[in-house]
Each structure stands twice: as C-alpha cells, then as structure tokens.
C-alpha cells in the first residue's frame, strides 16, 4: 500500500473523474446497477474523507460491508483514545480488518516490535477484526518468533496476512510464512509496479491468499483509481480473482470520488467478465 494516505485522482479527461457523487453508490447499489453479485466481501480503507478514523468508519459503513482500519503510524495509533476509536464502532453493520503500521520498529529488535504489536492488538480488539495485514519485517528471522508470540496471546497466525511490498515479493520469506502458519495478502499495484509476478508461482500460495489489494496503479507513492489499471493489469486482476478462493477484496483507493468510481468500474468489469465465461 502507499506510504501516503493522499487522495487519489484520475487523470484529466477521464469520464469518471468528472462524476459527482452527492450520494455515493454502495456495494449493493453497484450490484443492482450492473446485475452482478460480488462473490467476495469488499472492503474500503479508513482514509477516504479528510477526517479521523471514526468519521470515515461512520460514513463507509453505509456503503461497504467491511472496513480496513489503517494504522499508519505506530505511536500515533497506540495513543488513540475513545474519541478516535469510540466503542460504538463495534455496533456498525460491517466487519473489520486492520492494516498494521508501516513504521513498526523491526530494527529495534523483536521484543520492542512485539510490545508495539501487542498494544495495537489490544487497541483494536473492541471491533473484533478478522485479520491483520502486515508488511514483512525489514529485519531477519522475525516471523517465526512473531507466530509463537501470537499463539501465546491466543491469536492464530493465519489471521496475519503478509503483504508483498516494494521491498520484496514474499519469495524470499515464503518458507517462514508457511512454517509460521501465516496467510498472504496480494497487492496488485505492487505486483505491477515492482515486477513481482514471481510471487504467483509460490507453492501453496492460493491456499494462503486471504486478501487482494486492488487499485489502478502505484505511481508517485500514491494509489490511483481503478480506471488507471492497464489492459495487462486487468488480465492480472481477473486471474487473481479466479485463482483465490476464500478472500476479501480491499479497494485501496484513498479519496472519496476515486473510491466510488473504482467501485462502479469494478462492478462493470465483473459483469462483463461473467458474460465472457
């Protein structure tokens, strides 16, 4: 995912870029519009409106069945109060998963980073997230100790989804992922931008993929809406959707108009692909 939660904007001239979403389409609206049913849960990131986590969640719960809580910065998220994460969020009609911070202090040693992860797990526990997306450690030999500590805490390591990122395609740590019992999250923008198609050939990959991060392209440290996905990327997206079997799709677009235009386009593509079968 992008290291910046900046708003994403389609290129000038895009028909969808000029659409006004005074009343955004929900997932159900898009299904009815295009005559399809998404055969997987669709999640939206909690950084769409220029407000805090709670405000984003209250807005998104009316439109998406799942919300991805974005913990961007470790210390800031550990300092969240009931104003940032009010207990009432647990009553919203949606499910939750968490993207763990991008700045976890792996280089400070395992005990230090575990203290942070442990605190974050407790912080988000009231909404009962089903999964935690984690960028791979940037230090060696961290995943197996993490799996052991998670089990001690009563958290199945399979609920931690290790994501392919700019620094690696999962291939170098796949044996640790498997041995530790972790799952996987595939980011289509990272596969495209960093030439990571080698990840698709990992043994047993599709039994471990629990999430796809979907958006148009990663450029300039930003995620662009789905209309930016080129024809090669569209074939890749269709392949990922067909290969994975038990997964959530997160439309990882940061910005209201880009997110809802991407949702609408995704429904259109899915309807076309269904007709082509």
For residue range 39-66, list pLDDT tens digits in order: 999 999 999 999 999 999 999 999 999 9
CB atoms within 10 A of CB 245: 10
Q: Which residue has the higher pLDDT, 218 or 22?
A: 218
Could you give the CA distance from residue 159 to residue 183 in angstroms, rounded to a whole number?
Answer: 7
In this predicted structure, what is the pLDDT of residue 22?
53
Residue 2 lies in a domain: no
Q: Please report, for the domain that includes residue 230, its CATH number.
A: 3.20.20.150
Residue 7 lies in a domain: no
Q: What's the domain range around 121?
A: 16-276
Residue 8 lies in a domain: no
Phi, psi of 186 (to 5 degrees): -100, 130
At residue 261, the 3 state secondary structure works out as helix
Which region among 1-5, 71-75, 114-118, 127-131 has the lowest average model confidence (pLDDT)? 1-5
pLDDT above 70 covers a percentage of the chain that reads 92
In this predicted structure, what is the pLDDT of residue 175?
96
Residue 57 lies in a domain: yes
Residue 81 lies in a domain: yes
Residue 212 lies in a domain: yes
Q: Give me the number of domains the chain comprises.
A: 1
Residue 232 lies in a domain: yes
Q: 180: Cβ–Cβ under 8 A, 6 or more apart, which residues?
A: 143, 144, 146, 147, 157
Instruction: Go through the chain and tell me how many residues it has.
Output: 277
Which region among 20-24, 187-191, 200-204, 249-253 has the lowest average model confidence (pLDDT)? 20-24
Alpha helices by DSSP H, listed for the chain, are 27-34, 53-60, 74-78, 110-124, 143-153, 174-180, 188-193, 231-243, 256-276
User: Is the pLDDT score of 101 beyond 70?
Assistant: yes
User: Is the pLDDT score of 17 beyond 60?
Assistant: no
Residue 5 lies in a domain: no
């Amino acid at each position: 995912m992008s290291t910046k939660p900046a708003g994403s904007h389609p290129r000038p001239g895009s028909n969808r870029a000029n659409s006004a979403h005074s009343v955004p389409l929900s997932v159900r609206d898009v299904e009815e519009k295009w005559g399809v049913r998404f055969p997987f849960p669709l999640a939206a990131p909690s950084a769409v409106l220029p407000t805090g986590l709670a405000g984003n969640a209250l807005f998104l719960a009316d439109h998406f069945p799942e919300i991805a809580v974005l913990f961007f910065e470790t210390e800031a998220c550990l300092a969240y109060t009931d104003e940032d994460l009010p207990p009432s969020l647990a009553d919203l009609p949606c499910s939750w998963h968490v993207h763990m911070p991008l700045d976890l202090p792996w280089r400070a040693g395992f005990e230090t980073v575990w203290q942070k992860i442990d605190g974050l797990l407790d912080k988000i526990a009231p909404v009962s997230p089903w999964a935690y997306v984690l960028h791979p450690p940037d230090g060696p030999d961290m995943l197996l100790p993490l799996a052991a500590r998670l089990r001690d805490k009563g958290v199945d390591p399979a609920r931690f989804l290790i994501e392919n990122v700019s620094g690696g395609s999962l291939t170098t740590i796949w044996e640790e992922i498997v041995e530790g019992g972790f799952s996987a999250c595939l980011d289509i923008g990272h596969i495209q931008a960093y030439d990571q198609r080698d990840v698709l050939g990992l043994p047993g990959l599709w039994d471990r993929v629990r999430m796809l991060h979907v958006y148009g392209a990663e450029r300039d440290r930003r995620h662009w809406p789905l209309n930016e996905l080129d024809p090669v990327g569209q074939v890749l997206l269709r392949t990922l959707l067909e290969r994975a079997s038990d997964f959530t799709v997160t439309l990882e677009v940061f910005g209201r108009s880009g997110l809802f235009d991407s949702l609408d386009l995704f429904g259109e593509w899915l309807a076309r692909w269904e007709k082509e079968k």
